[in-house]
Amino acid sequence: MARTALIMSDAFKAYNFGKQHPLKPERVLLTWELIKGLHLHENPNCVVMEPRLATEEELELFHDKEYINFVKKVSAALEKGPLPEDLEIGGLKYNLGPGDNPVFPKMHEGSSIVVGGTIVAVDAVYDGVVENAFQAGGGLHHAQADKASGFCIYNDSVIAIKHLLQKHPRENLKVLYIDVDAHHADGVQSAFYTDTDNVLTISLHESGKFLFPGTGFIEEKGIGIHEGYAVNIPLLPYTYDDLYLDIFDDVVPRIVKAFQPDLIVSQNGVDTHCTDPLAQLGLTTKGQREIFKHIHELAKKYCKGKLVAVGGGGYNIAVVPRSWTMLFADLLGVLDQLPATIPADLLQKLNAGRDTDLIPEYFIDPGPSDEIKMRMNDFKFLDEFELYGQEMRYRVNNQILPLIEKHEAARHAQIAPKTMVKKAEKSAKQK
């Protein structure tokens, strides 16, 4: 059975925007508590790994030095007391301060440990220490090169991918990034939008017509050498399990087959849930479980199981630990061994001290929310959604997939002669 890394450390608590902010560390901490309460971390095929702080050189693989230095200044200042007025005003340039990205003590260190955790995961998987890895603290996919965005200070997935490509320059690696968060992976897309065909990004998300960050339309497909390597599948609000999976299964496997990645990084935000307070999609934990399984199957089929799964969004505490525990159990190969219900004593421990968003006893929701059920009984709604789903599948498969297939055919044509020369040289030496 494959070995799975679990990146886990109390150091992740430092990434904390405060009690009133929706991105609470307890989402990740409760996931680990559920994993540990079920003794999954004691499985002989689980390797618990500590994250490390990313170095400044690693952060600069994507982020501007000026931006990194400002984050460090803010972090140091907050250790001494209230933020000085000049730094408070200066933060506006970097989208730091009031709103989505309030500053907090140890902001640089807390953000760097997230990045370092994802780098540890990527290295462990690519180097063959483990087959796959789960980094629940990662998935900060909105951060841009020169500013914070959408609860994200540093973009861990981008930096980890760039780190891997830089570490193995002669291997011409191909990395596939799949993002199933409710919000578009704009920061990751922007990092690779023009300058490489070694990274292909796929983002399935609620359409930017309705949800932050207002991007991720199907027309955004990359520029120059990257044309076709940015794949966006914007979804309508209230998209439910079956429709989501139909679209996924008709589009994503074809892209993966054409691209033939060496490693997959997946961002597994669960704000796609029908009860999430910050988005309007209609999935249940059953649908989320199936999406995770399908991504894992693609990794096993096309890149020897090499998959790094990071966390992401998800703002209903009742949902996140259950879905991410099922994700980890699937990576570990024990998903079918999970109990139907969470043991009562463990459930009591998970819900201790909270009056709202209580985790229910079951992993799989009994069904969609009442709001989704109401719409699924509306034939007009179903017809419109089915037609929209057909349009998305048609446009990706007929307008974007051919670009990837053409480019990959040209890539292989260039590689083949070099391979033949090397074989001839090897044969001559043997003679």
Q: Tabulate helix, strand, coil % of the chain (nearest 5).
A: 50, 10, 40
Query: Is 191 in contact with 179 (CB distance < 8 Å)?
Result: no
**Among 152-156, 334-338, 408-412, which is the least confidently predicted range?**
408-412
Please report whether residue 2 resides in a domain: no
Reported confidence tier of residue 424, pLDDT bands at 50, 70, 90: very low
Helices (H), 185-240: 186-192
Cis? peptide before 213, omega within 30° of 0: yes
Please report whether residue 1 resides in a domain: no
DSSP secondary structure string for all residues of 106-131? THHHHHHHHHHHHHHHHHHHHTTS-S
Q: What percent of the chain has pLDDT over 70?
A: 96
pLDDT higher than 80, residue 417: no
Q: Rounded CA gap, 359 and 33, in Å? A: 12
Please report whether residue 388 resides in a domain: yes
Mean pLDDT of 142-166: 98
Reported confidence tier of residue 429, pLDDT bands at 50, 70, 90: low
- The pLDDT of residue 2 is 77
pLDDT higher than 50, residue 421: no
- The pLDDT of residue 331 is 98
**Which residue matches tokens 């500053």?**
103
Q: Rounded CA gap, 88 and 334, in Å? A: 48
Please report whether residue 167 resides in a domain: yes
Please give the torsion angle defined by the CA atoms of residues 165, 169, 170 and 175, in that order, rounded to the nearest 10 degrees. 10
- Give the CATH number for residue 201: 3.40.800.20
- The pLDDT of residue 95 is 98
Assess whether 205 carries a catalytic annotation.
no
Three-state DSSP state, 60: coil
Residue 177 is part of which domain span?
7-430
- The pLDDT of residue 376 is 87
Query: Is 177 in contact with 170 (CB distance < 8 Å)?
Result: no
- The pLDDT of residue 426 is 46
Q: Which helix (H) or strand (E) holds 197?
A: none
Please report whether residue 300 resides in a domain: yes
Please report whether residue 394 resides in a domain: yes
Please report whether residue 69 resides in a domain: yes
What stretches of 188-281 adopt beta strand conformation (E)? Answer: 199-206, 230-235, 263-267
What secondary structure letter does DSSP report for 208?
T
Mean pLDDT of 198-227: 97
DSSP secondary structure string for all residues of 299-318? HHHHSTT-EEEE------TT
- The pLDDT of residue 423 is 45
Query: Is 266 in contact with 161 (CB distance < 8 Å)?
Result: no
**Which residue matches tokens 């030496």?**
429
Q: What is the CA radius of gyration of the chain?
A: 22
**Catalytic annotation, pick one of 63, 163, 184, 205:** 184
**Among 10-14, 251-255, 287-291, 408-412, which is the least confidently predicted range?**
408-412
Reported confidence tier of residue 195, pLDDT bands at 50, 70, 90: confident
pLDDT higher for 420 or 222? 222
Q: Rounded CA gap, 273 and 182, in Å? A: 9
pLDDT in tens, 37-88: 999 999 999 999 999 999 999 999 999 999 999 999 999 999 999 999 999 9
What secondary structure letter does DSSP report for 83?
P
Please report whether residue 329 resides in a domain: yes
The number of domains in the chain is 1
Q: Rounded CA gap, 220 and 227, in Å? A: 9
Phi and psi (nearest 5°) for 179? Answer: -120, 120
Residue 301 exposure: Cα atoms within 13 Å on the Cβ side: 13
pLDDT higher than 80, residue 278: yes
Reported confidence tier of residue 235, pLDDT bands at 50, 70, 90: very high
Query: Is 280 in contact with 429 (CB distance < 8 Å)?
Result: no
pLDDT higher than 80, residue 415: no
pLDDT in tens, 325-371: 999 999 999 999 999 999 999 999 999 999 999 999 999 999 999 99
- The pLDDT of residue 414 is 81
The token pair at 60 is 């600069």
